[in-house]
Structure 1
Amino acid sequence: MLTDLVTGLEVPTDLLIGGRWSPADDASTFDVIDPATAGVIATVANGTVADAGRCVDAAAAAAAGWAATAPRERSSILRRAFDLMTDREEQFAELIVRENGKAFADALGEVRYAAEFFRWYAEEAVRLHGELTTAPSGSNRIMVVRQPIGIALLITPWNFPAAMATRKIGPALAAGCTVILKPASDTPLTALAIGALLAQAGVPDGVVNVLPSRRSGPVGEAILGDPRVRKLSFTGSTEVGRSLLRVAAEQVISSSMELGGNAPFLVFDDADLEAALDGAMVAKMRNGGEACTAANRFYAQAGIAEEFTERLAQRMGALTVGPGIDRANAVGPLVNQAAVDKVSELVGDAVSRGATVSTGGGAITGDGYFYAPTVLAGVPAGSQLLDEEIFGPVAPVVTFETEAEAIALANSTEFGLVSYVYTGDLARGLRVSEALESGMVGLNRGLVSDPAAPFGGVKQSGLGREGGHEGMVEYTESKYIAVAW
């Protein structure tokens, strides 16, 4: 079945298995909700455990042929996918707005970012290099080749339904792997549209399978329990990631995990304050704060803390909030009511402990799941929102005195995905960047994501890297061949 939700874009609502669109094995479906209106916009097939088995069968049947496909051919297909997605960027953006809720400008930015993974890995597909060295003893040569790791299960979140799919599909296909994409059930339509686009780009039947489902646990366990599946790539919460790792351990499946974050944003007295505010708005408000890279804790040095907080509140308070389909709105709704309730709880806890609301501070009544952009000043230690991901348009500000104190505060979390540092002293910036316990640092930049760079965290924020050359290597196994001639 197809939905006519977006003019000019093929958006299937069935499962994609082995190159064919089909309903769920038991014919069950689930509704997709527009967060701006809380209304149903589509009904999608609800994949079953039996469907999961069919996906593995299809991926296995296509695996040998795809692995043997010439790198240049794989590259050409990915390049066609980039061109197709770029040609339809506004339609994809509208689709993301409808099922995810983000502002149109954010959605369009995501589509362009998502398409770049197809272009980057079209280029990387022909650069999967091995090694040839001489053994120290001189007795033989050490030849190392990289081969596709095998069938990959890709599990993506709702907050970036296009980019998180292409960031996994691109390198997997470039390396010669077949995949099963399990999108978040809040936002399955974008993944299904990408599946249709890849088929049009020339991806053979069974190489990419798309399995939306509300039965995430049983479906995931069924796929990971099949010995033919050799790779798991997951983006989502640390809690769910831990659970998946336990399941993957039974089959000793290679696992890449991009998990939760609690990003600190450090602003030193010597920073260019205007640039820091520009960066803060990007780092905090990209996707309305619903991003694992979102600045979660703002630490401002005492000399500029008051001015930084006041000016940040002015900027946040001036943002227009409303349905993303209206391109004049800068901030859309949160993804669902549970998200609004969580943000409200975190803000309420901070205020009850003594934080001051500089702007915003509450949910917006009416249709949809809206929360006002919020700045909190003087947030005390022990507040829940300093320990947990907010995943909403809320910026808590804490004052610090010394560089050592800033580093200690920034590192006082189990997470370590990304950090942001603003300072006019390059030596300090590099020194602090090295001391921060995170996989990525934005130094005088509020945006770090780039398809050509390795994306990932340390501590409880994940395992492995996505993007860059490393992202493709994650979908390979190294084979050592001892040979003499």
Structure 2
Amino acid sequence: MTTTADERRVTEAAPTGLFIRGAWRSAQNGATTKVEDPATGEVLAEVADASPADGMDALDAAQAAQPVIAAMPPRERSEILYRAYRLLHERADDLAMLMTLEMGKPLAEARGEVVYASEFLRWFAEEAVRIDGGYQVAPNGQTRFLTIREPVGVCVFVTPWNFPLAMGTRKIAPAIAAGCASIIKPAPQTPLTMLAFAQVLADAGLPDGALNVITATDAGGVMEPIIRDGRARKISFTGSTPVGKKLLAQAADKVLRSSLELGGNASFIVLDDADVDAAIEGAMIAKMRNMGEACTAANRFYVQRGVADEFARKLADRMGALKVGRGTEEGVNVGPLIDAKGRDKVVDLVADAVANGAGVALGGEPQDGPGYFYPPTVLTDVPENSRLNHEEIFGPVAPITVVDSADQALAAANATEFGLVNYVYTRDLNQALRIAENLQSGMIGLNTGLVSNPAAPFGGVKESGLGREGGMVGIDEFLETKYVAIGFSG
């Protein structure tokens, strides 16, 4: 595969250093780490590889900037976010290209992520000027209660590789709106997009040190000292449940405010009375967005027997029509998986299901050649005990299990330690509400395959996480409520 001049221009223009105190610099020990194109395995760039000393320098910078951003009038913080919103749109093509090169998703999806990410900036620009407080008369009339909302303080963010821009803006935007300085560590597979966004915020006028970006392969060695130091007062993490549990344990030492958006195992329920064609459209979004590499991806398909054959046939037809290839190529719908480890996991999960009796309606075999590609795959009659029904797939595989009733589907959907999102297709309103009220998850897509929206609260229950991001409650995670009792003599 030949690298184009446009691709070279975008990667060569991307920052590759640590961003601390509003300036770009190398790691103190001079270390670097390679970023590769998952479609080819070729090296795109080398970025600074932070040491623990670099991490503490970033914490010093954030701590120094905290009183500066906290003292800024809300309208000024709002205007910074608005300017960043506009700059994202001006630089959308280059950001999308950069994201596709380091992560693999097709350019059309990358452009969609830029728009999605920018909406968090616009939403929290509007929330910045609506931070409320209160004044209340005590029940006995002898005291007055004054409540003040204040920034929680320095925040620490750790973001994943699958949505390298949106997962950053979803955390950074409310932090700025609330008046919090922050440190962010993007995933080592996809640092370039976040580094480019740091430059966007600098160009938008964010005070030096209010955002610090550290890229590091030794995540534990760099982040644990920051978390245990005590000067940071909040941690927000998006990623796997095992890593989230480790970070939560570290945060407990200094009682940091914690927001965790962790693993998912979303069910996609299709009942006999569903509009099957609408369910197929929803399944294509819920399953194939980001090549299935999303915590919200439909992981388990529970289809009632009366429509199971039709649903499987139509889903295989739609997924089979998708074009697999490098995300920068014209007409490509499905890019590579993030790395060899991710592809090998999908291979193992499919092999386990087939060994346990699942049928293969489409795909099922990894592709040869460079890059970490796996074809769209539809499996039928997947046994409930298959690993596919209990582990996140993070790939373009749709495992279908036939059920005989809505109650059976509901029980199967809840039989997991995760509870991020579930999808339900039915035209019976009473049935829909009954299932929605009994599904153990933080979000539900009812006759839709897309739940993510900056104006809605995103988050899960059980081992899928703590807290909510986005929506009117999203800024609450970055604010403390202070109560002042005022003596009153009348």
State the AA in 1 paired with 2:344. Answer: D
Counterpart in 2 of 1:239?
242
Counterpart in 2 of 1:443?
446
Structure-2 change in CA distance of 1:451 and 1:37 (3 Å): same
Decide whether the 8 Å contact of 2:69 with 2:210 is kept in 1: yes
Counterpart in 2 of 1:318?
321
5+ unaligned residues in a row in structure 2: which ranges?
1-5
Matched, 1:92 2:100: no
SS at match of 1:364: coil
4+ long deviations beyond 3 Å:
3-10
Counterpart in 1 of 2:286?
283
- Deviation of 1:362 after TM superposition, in Å, equals 1.5
> Of 184, 187, 197, which aligns to 2:190?
187
What is the distance in 1 between the residues matched to 2:160 and 2:210? 21
What is the distance in 1 between the residues matched to 2:41 and 2:137? 64
Moved more, 63-72 or 3-12: 3-12
State the AA in 1 paired with 2:38. Answer: P
State the AA in 1 paired with 2:223. Answer: G
State the AA in 2 paired with 1:101. Answer: G
Decide whether the 8 Å contact of 1:105 with 1:327 is kept in 2: no
What is the distance in 2 between the residues matched to 1:384 and 1:429? 28
5+ unaligned residues in a row in structure 1: which ranges?
none
What is the distance in 1 between the residues matched to 2:185 and 2:225? 12
Structure-2 change in CA distance of 1:278 and 1:6 (3 Å): farther
What is the distance in 1 between the residues matched to 2:12 and 2:37? 18
The 5 A counterparts of 1:139-154 are 139-154=142-157
Counterpart in 1 of 2:116?
113
Decide whether the 8 Å contact of 2:59 with 2:183 is kept in 1: yes
What is the distance in 1 between the residues matched to 2:381 and 2:229? 52
The 5 A counterparts of 1:395-474 are 395-474=398-477
- Deviation of 1:420 after TM superposition, in Å, equals 0.4
Structure-2 change in CA distance of 1:7 and 1:341 (3 Å): closer
Decide whether the 8 Å contact of 2:11 with 2:98 is kept in 1: no
Q: Percent identity?
A: 55
What is the distance in 2 between the residues matched to 1:228 and 1:117? 26
State the AA in 2 paired with 1:126. Answer: V
Matched, 1:381 2:384: yes
Counterpart in 2 of 1:135?
138
> Of 164, 169, 176, which aligns to 2:167?
164
- Deviation of 1:132 after TM superposition, in Å, equals 2.3
The 5 A counterparts of 1:225-304 are 225-304=228-307
- Deviation of 1:10 after TM superposition, in Å, equals 4.7
State the AA in 1 paired with 2:390. Answer: D
CA RMSD of aligned residues (A): 1.2
> Of 1, 5, 21, which aligns to 2:24?
21
TM-score, normalization by structure 1: 0.98
Counterpart in 1 of 2:481?
478
Structure-2 change in CA distance of 1:63 and 1:32 (3 Å): same
What is the distance in 2 between the residues matched to 1:301 and 1:483? 62
State the AA in 2 paired with 1:214. Answer: T
Decide whether the 8 Å contact of 1:5 with 1:95 is kept in 2: no
Structure-2 change in CA distance of 1:89 and 1:106 (3 Å): same
- Deviation of 1:133 after TM superposition, in Å, equals 2.2
Counterpart in 2 of 1:11?
14
Report Cα offsets for 1:364-400 as digits up to 9, x if no partner. 1101000000000000011001000000000000111
What is the distance in 2 between the residues matched to 1:4 and 1:223? 36
Decide whether the 8 Å contact of 1:103 with 1:327 is kept in 2: no
Counterpart in 1 of 2:353?
350
Decide whether the 8 Å contact of 1:9 with 1:91 is kept in 2: no
Report Cα offsets for 1:418-477 as digits up to 9, x if no partner. 010111112211111111000000000100000010000000000000001211110111
Number of aligned residues: 483
Counterpart in 2 of 1:341?
344
Counterpart in 1 of 2:3?
none
SS at match of 1:429: helix
> Of 329, 332, 335, which aligns to 2:335?
332
State the AA in 2 paired with 1:113. Answer: Y
Moved more, 138-147 or 51-60: 138-147
TM-score, normalization by structure 2: 0.97
Structure-2 change in CA distance of 1:342 and 1:254 (3 Å): same
SS at match of 2:472: helix
Structure-2 change in CA distance of 1:453 and 1:295 (3 Å): same
Report Cα offsets for 1:223-255 as digits up to 9, x if no partner. 102111100000000000000011111111111
Decide whether the 8 Å contact of 1:264 with 1:410 is kept in 2: yes
